A and B are shown apart, each in its own frame.
Chain A
Amino acid sequence: METLSENKKAALLSVLLLLVGLFVWEMSIPAQKTVEALTEYERLTGTGQPKAGVPPPSQVVAKAWEQLSNPFYDAGPNDKGIGIQIGYSIYRVLVGYLLAALIAIPLGFLIGMSRVAHKALNPFIQVLRPISPLAWMPLALFVIQDSEASAIFVIFICSIWPMLINTAFGVAGVREDWVNVARTHELGPLKTAFTVILPAAAPTIVTGMRISIGIAWLVIVAAEMLVGGTGIGYYVWNEWNNLDLTSVIFSILMIGVVGMLLDAALGLLQRRVAYVE
């Protein structure tokens, strides 16, 4: 063990924990009798009816294999592959998120550069920011009259705040020396914004973007449970209604994996814009 590197030790420990966890899970679930194995009495009274219990991991793995080997099948509105469902969710998240970035970053620049803008907009931000994004849902459905667009709006509204606040904070905190460098080189306001302020504030801005994508992914599941139709959130809810807990657990895991990938993508961007002073 001494000779293993830290990373290898950690990986080994992770695998061990996983195996132990799966083993305990598998063992703690009482074996269910299959229909053929029921006694006639049990069949008649219904007491031996397979109940919707928590499935063992082996079943979840089997389910995952089945789903992931054909993720994009489409057999009607209530039966679509997991790939399609996740695709819908990612699409909504990205559209809402990018729209939010498109507004939050320029507006954050303005707030960060101008004290007047900061003071004028701050009260609105402080009131709007703590509102649960789902609270907007009824209003959005009523005003927009479209469940798809409403879900996107909810993503938009929940991901705008971290980006807005971090951009404003990052821009306001750009060292005056660097701005002076731009000034002594007679850079115009636009050139200064792009060549000095943006790269200087980029690490803070991207941190905000990373927080936002995390929140957006949390919210989309809940939003889709409400609006229904398609998406991973709807899928989870639908499988719950079908009492298919294996699928529910499988999709929960998928939500985790996709969330992790989205975060990793932003983490990559974060590393690219980082600098050491």
Chain B
Amino acid sequence: MASSFLSIERLTQRYPDGKGGEFTVFENASFGIEKGEFVCILGHSGCGKSTIMNILAGLSDPTSGVIKMDGQAISGPSLDRGVVFQNYSLLPWLTTLKNVTFGVAARFPQWTKQQVTDHSIAFLEKVGLTGDAIYRKPSQLSGGMRQRVSIARAFANEPKLLLLDEPFGALDALTRGTIQDELIKVWSGTDQTVFMITHDIDEAILLADRILLMTNGPNARVAESVEITLPRPRTRTTIVEHPNYYAIRNHLVQFLGERSVLLAGESVGDETHRPETVRIDKTEGAADAEPLLRAVPK
């Protein structure tokens, strides 16, 4: 596991509980993410997903533990790790285009102005933003368009790791669908690694190679790592016909509904926690070769 592209090792986060003591959000959590993987993390509100993401982004420091990317321990934010914030976080005094060139110019300081602009426009096009919309201010865009800008800004920087914190949380179902497709389109053309928080099981199944499941906090754990054994390219309509789809979905629903509570932990002390790998594959041949539920020892 030490050879993962991104490895999270014995990550612990504690906060003061306001009564003089402290409470543990998660303790000694460890997991790895491979290069080019699309990983979603699912868990109930308050279990610590955003906390993990902020630590990965370098925006906050954990109480203890290390994160290594390409074998190097990370410290502080970096252009190698792009972030799409839940509330878009566009700079309202800049136009859409300037919001993207702002990042690109920081990423590629040696480029000419023209290069920066062309590159930015190309990425805005990839998420379906063209024409005069790119010269408008964010306040003049719809929520969906703003989130597109935010995604374009992150991808245009070509970070090695892309972090998304509930990027579609505030969008209606239709817009969500379109932007999910755009996200996949942009991502599949690259070797970028994506780590995304979501509350939406179907979204996670559609997008992810692997889903990490967290138990409820405090003392939350990343309990399982569920492989999404659905072939790509996936579409909303075809994946539901795949034999694995409902099996995976039921497993996730069952986890979030019951086991996330049952497994909700007491302090685990010094133990290192690695998620149990779950592989569900009901396609012919695979079913005989592999058990339905397989715990892979680390």
Q: Which residues of A contact B (CB under 8 A)?
A: 177-178, 180-181, 183-187, 195-196, 199-200, 202, 273, 275-277
Contacts and interface: CB of A to CB of B under 8 A. Distances in A.
A178 B87 CA distance: 11
Interface string B128-165: 00000000010100000000000000000100000000
Interface string B22-40: 0000000000000000000
Contact of B91 (A199, A202, A273): A199
Given A187-B106, A276-B137, A181 B91 contact: yes
B92 interface: yes
Given A183-B77, A185-B102, A177 B92 contact: no
Sorted from nearest, which 10 A-B pairs have the closest CB atoms?
Answer: A276-B139, A275-B93, A177-B89, A185-B106, A183-B77, A184-B77, A275-B92, A199-B93, A184-B83, A277-B92
Contacts of B139: 275-277
B89 A178 contact: yes
Contacts of B57: 180, 184
A184 B93 contact: no
B172 to A, nearest CB: 21
B59 interface: yes
A186 B93 contact: no
Interface residues of B, number: 24
A177 B90 CA distance: 9
A202 B92 CA distance: 12
5 contacts: A178-B91, A180-B83, A184-B78, A199-B93, A200-B91
Interface of B: 57-59, 76-79, 81-83, 85, 87, 89, 91-94, 102-103, 106-107, 137, 139, 157
A186 B77 contact: yes
Contacts of A275: 92-93, 137, 139
B59 A184 contact: yes
Most buried by A among B78, B87, B89, B93: B93
Given A181-B91, A186-B106, A196-B91, 15 more contacts: A177-B85, A180-B59, A180-B89, A183-B77, A184-B57, A184-B78, A185-B106, A185-B157, A199-B91, A202-B93, A273-B93, A275-B93, A275-B139, A277-B92, A277-B139
Contacts of B93: 199-200, 202, 273, 275
Nearest to A183: B77
Nearest to A273: B93
A200 B58 CA distance: 23
Contacts of B76: 183
Nearest to B89: A177
Contacts of B94: 199
Nearest to B54: A180
Most buried by B among A184, A186, A200: A184
A183 B58 CA distance: 9
Contacts of A273: 93
Contacts of A187: 106
B224 to A, nearest CB: 29
A180 B85 contact: yes
B74 to A, nearest CB: 12
A202 B94 CA distance: 13
A258 B6 CA distance: 64
B87 to A, nearest CB: 6
A217 B79 CA distance: 48
Contacts of A177: 85, 87, 89
A124 to B, nearest CB: 32
B79 A185 contact: yes
A275 B139 CA distance: 9
A181 B79 contact: no
B78 to A, nearest CB: 6
Most buried by B among A181, A186, A202, A276: A181
Contact of B89 (A181, A199, A276): A181
Contacts of A195: 102
Contacts of B92: 275-277
Contacts of B102: 185, 195
A183 B103 CA distance: 11
A170 to B, nearest CB: 13
A86 to B, nearest CB: 35
A269 to B, nearest CB: 14
Contacts of A199: 91, 93-94
B107 A185 contact: yes
A225 to B, nearest CB: 42
A251 to B, nearest CB: 41
Contacts of A181: 85, 89, 91
Contacts of B79: 184-186
A187 B77 CA distance: 10
Contacts of B82: 184
Contacts of B157: 185
A273 B92 CA distance: 11
A277 B87 CA distance: 12
A27 to B, nearest CB: 54
Contacts of B107: 185
A186 B78 contact: yes
A268 to B, nearest CB: 17
B266 to A, nearest CB: 33
